[in-house]
Amino acid sequence: MNSLKGEILKVVAKAAALERELVKPGEDEVADRAERRYQIQARFDALLVEAGAPGYSGCQVTTEPPRFTLVPEEDRKARAAATNLARVTLKRWWRSNIGEEIIEESLLDAMLLGVWTFTGWPPDMIDGRDASGA
């Protein structure tokens, strides 16, 4: 697990470096970096599958853009409860296997949710909202 842990942390660092990179003149920060974000996210997901992280399976690993679906009103409460339970389980696994806490609204949190690839992550929030001084 130590080598996997190292690889997982390298991928998170690679994502942080991408988000800290200054936007070049003429670059569309969202569109021009999207493919790199998808590749980083796919590598991250694949490493979590290999490490046996709860809630991760090989069928989730993709370099495609994320797909968002509308959840019917009547299903939202049940989905939210299941999602919260899965997040608590993953947080415990992460603490036990990686040795770190998952900080809410950090880049790591967004990567675990699979939502950072859509538009990127604000560089001042890579370490979470509290770290940014907000």
Count CA atoms closer than 13 A to 32's CA, side-chain side.
11
Residue 63 identity: T
Q: Report the C-alpha gap between 113 and 47 in whole angstroms.
A: 15
Residue 55 lies in domain: 2-132
Query: For 35-59, how does the pLDDT look when each residue is reduced to its tens digit (9 = 90+)?
Result: 899 999 999 999 999 999 998 888 7
Total domains in the chain come to 1
- List average pLDDT for each run of 10 residues in the chain, which is 134 residues long: 90 95 89 90 94 87 78 89 92 95 93 85 87 55
> In the prediction, which pLDDT does 131 show?
63
The model's pTM: 0.84
Nearest to 96 by CA among 5, 14, 9, 8: 5
> Could you give the C-alpha distances from 69 to 26, 34, 89, 105, 133, in angstroms and in order?
32, 20, 23, 21, 33
Q: Is the dihedral of CA 53, 54, 56, 57 positive or negative?
A: positive
> In the prediction, which pLDDT does 62 show?
82
